[in-house]
Amino acid sequence: MNPESQFTNRTDTETGQQENPVGWESMLHIKPRQRFLSTAQILGLHEATLSLMERTGFKVTHEKAKEILHSHGASVEGDRIRLPAWLVEKALSTAPSQVVFFDRNRTKPVILKDDDTWYGPTIDAFDYLDPETGKRRPFTLEDCRKTTRLADALDNFTWIMTIGVCSDAPSATSDRLIAKQVLANSTKPLLFCCGSMDSMRDIYDMGVLIAGSEERLINQPNIIGFQAPISPLTYDDALIDRLLFAAEKGLPQVCYSGPQAGSTSPATLAGTVVQGSAESLFGIILGQLVNPGCPFVYGAFATIMDMATTVFSYGAPEMNIMASAMSQLAHYYSIPFFGMSGCSDAKFPDSQAAVEATFSCFSSSMSGANMVHDNGWLDHSTLISPEYMVLVNEVIEKVNRYMNGMRVDEERLALDVIDKVGPGGHFLMEPHTMNHFREVWYSKLFDRTTTAGWRAAGSKQFHERLREHTLKIMEHEPEPLPEEIAREMEKMEKNWM
């Protein structure tokens, strides 16, 4: 064999040219991917969902919504709305397969499509686990400022939520106050949650103010609505008002129920998936009927009720099974999927919390969930911990590295450098090593030092390093709102009182 050309024995002898001898093109970039359901299972779940919507239907008391649904062919009997299969499939066909939103400056789009996964924090935590004192206490507007700034600093949180419910603000306006706090302290796109239509309009108006015009807000939205129907199968009036408002405007929104297997949905996973899917689809269909093409994100927080404690679990493996199944259904419907990860039933950012976060982040990415929330949430949705946010951010980074797979091409197969070094040598001084060693991921948190090095650095255990690292990141100063806009928002706030 000619050492100059290691592929000589596979080459067309006439030309002496090697043409892609082992099919490089098809091997270029291998990325892991999980197919949770078979095609037959997807169709089975879809058929069951259609059947549920036609047979059992939904409870709706909103008169305008009833009229819209009725005029498009739904059966309306009192408050019970049933949708024929043809109406469901027709309405879903106009829902966009790709949903895009932006940061405050409209330079960093989040593009929900295909298998791409974008992680973000959470909403409505009651308590705050203070990294300075280690103590748990009610979440305040100031904690919202701190956690928002932290989320702004964490690279793997690509969008943001309102994180907590502030205990120190009047309940009628607290949803607007925290939305304002988040908009002022992070440039990342905001998925907001609110109660009344007044709140919805006021938050929308802040979005228009920041965008500069309503047209720009709709074309390049930096705020996204969130609607949570009540399981089982109930759409309340306030939710429908908000949903119709966003749908008519064309503002992206997430339609996301929370079926709890065994209490607000069947104890079986397949039944809970079908119910959760129907609950999300119903809102999307209503939106498509009033404004075909308006953007939605589909999903349900399907988990189990812990029958020993009644807890709605944020760490159950069944939660990840159902999310993976629904993510695949979302791909079947060509609508982006809203998932959950980086959350735990643990009370501290401890080993249990780390295990549960790793499991759910890995599962979310592997199943191609698109917009994944709840990262940093502890104690089944009651507690936000900056340290846990930082830990989960690192978990996401590790998962993202894994999901990026490996490239297999001539340069990376490296046969030339292997041949150059030969048996018994080493690769440390090769230019090939210099060119590629930085492709390896290095963690800012997870320890790989030698024992001696670890001792020299103060013998710190993980939780100590995590706390120090968190406090350092919390010094981050976000880009402030332009002064005029900040002043205008202060004026707006006065009108909410």
Partner 1 sequence: MTDLSAIKDALTSGDAESVKNSVQEAVDRGVDADTILNDGLISGMDIVGEKMQTGEMFIPEVLMAAKSMSEAVETLKPFLKDGGRNKTGHMVIGTVKGDLHDIGKNLVTMMVESAGFEVTDLGVDVAPEKFVEAVREKNPDIVALSALLTTTMPMMQQTVDALAESGVRDQIKIIVGGAPVTQEFADRIGADGYASDAGGASKLAKSLG
Q: Is residue 459 near partner 1 by the rule CB under 8 A? A: no
Residue 133 binds to partner 1 (criterion: CB under 8 A) = no
Nearest CA among 296, 370, 294, 366 for reference residue 110:
370
Cβ at position 469, least distance to partner 1 in Å? 14
Q: Which residues have CB under 8 Å from 288's CB, separation 6+?
A: 91, 92, 94, 95, 247, 294
Closer residue to partner 1 (CB): 432 or 476: 432
The smaller minimum CB distance to partner 1, of residues 33 and 420, is found at 420
Among residues 1, 40, 308, 429, the one that binds partner 1 under rule CB under 8 A: 429
86 is an interface residue for partner 1 by CB under 8 A: no
**H/E run at residue 99:** strand 99-101
Q: Which is nearer to partner 1, 379 or 430 (CB)?
A: 430
Q: Which CB, 308 or 452, lies closer to partner 1?
A: 452
Q: How many whole angstroms separate alpha carbon 307 and alpha carbon 310? A: 5
Q: How far is CA 397 from CA 70, 117, 121, 362, 403, in A?
A: 48, 12, 14, 10, 10
Report the residue from 212, 292, 293, 453 that binds partner 1 according to the rule CB under 8 A. Answer: 453
Question: Out of 433, 460, 462, 468, which residue is the one contacting partner 1 (CB under 8 A)?
Answer: 433
C-alpha dist (Å) from residue 244 to 60, 205, 284, 287:
14, 16, 10, 6
Nearest residue to 286 via CA among 332, 226, 240, 233: 240
Q: Which is nearer to partner 1, 55 or 448 (CB)?
A: 448
The smaller minimum CB distance to partner 1, of residues 453 and 482, is found at: 453
Could you say which of 26, 135, 423, 438 contacts partner 1 (CB under 8 A)? 438
Q: How many Cα atoms are found within 13 Å in the side-chain-facing hemisphere of 421?
A: 15
Q: Within 10 A of 497 (CB to CB), how many other CB atoms are there?
A: 7
Q: How far is the CB of 430 from partner 1 (least distance, A)?
A: 8
DSSP 25: G
**Residue with tokens 């202060």, as numbered in its chain:** 490
Beta-strand relationship, 234-235 and 58-60 = parallel
Q: Which one of residues 15, 26, 107, 451 is an interface residue with partner 1 (CB under 8 A)?
A: 451
Closest distance to partner 1 from the beta carbon of 424 (Å): 8
CB 153, min distance to partner 1, A: 20
What does the DSSP assignment read for 357-385?
HHHHHHHHHHTT-SEEE-TTEETTTTEE-
Which one, 3 or 424, has the nearer CB to partner 1? 424
- 446 CB-side CA count, 13 A: 12
CB of 475 vs partner 1, minimal distance in Å: 20
CB of 426 to partner 1, least distance (A): 6
Strand, helix or coil at 104?
Answer: coil
Nearer to partner 1, 78 or 423 (CB): 423
Q: Work out which of 55, 135, 426, 494 binds partner 1, going by CB under 8 A.
A: 426
Residues 166-225 contacting partner 1, CB under 8 A: none
User: Could you give the string, one character per residue 383-422, with x where binding to partner 1 holds by CB under 8 A and - elsewhere?
Assistant: ----------------------------------------
Q: Given candidates 22, 267, 434, 486, which one binds partner 1 under the rule CB under 8 A?
A: 434
**Site membership for partner 1, residue 428 (CB under 8 A):** yes
Beta bridge partners of 76: 81
CB-nearer residue toward partner 1: 5 or 435: 435
For position 135 contacting partner 1 by CB under 8 A, the verdict is no
CA distances from 214 to 70, 71, 200, 251, 325 (A): 31, 30, 15, 10, 37
- Whether a cis peptide bond, with omega within 30° of 0, leads into 232 is yes
Euclidean distance between CA atoms 313 and 311, whole angstroms: 6
- Our CB check for partner 1 shows the closer of 1 and 452 to be 452
Q: Minimum distance between the CB of residue 450 and partner 1, rounded to whole angstroms?
A: 4
SS3 255: strand
Our CB check for partner 1 shows the closer of 269 and 418 to be 418
Q: How many chain residues bind partner 1 (CB under 8 A)?
A: 12
CB 447 within 8 A of CB 460: no
**Which of 1, 308, 452, 497 lies at the binding interface for partner 1 (CB under 8 A)?**
452
> Does 17 engage in binding with partner 1 (CB under 8 A)?
no
Which of 117-125, 161-169, 425-433, 480-488 is the region at the interface with partner 1 (rule: CB under 8 A)? 425-433
Q: Which two tokens stand for residue 255?
A: 């339609």
Coil, strand or helix at 256: strand
Provide the binding-site residues for partner 1, judged by CB under 8 A. Answer: 424, 426, 428-429, 433-434, 437-438, 450-453
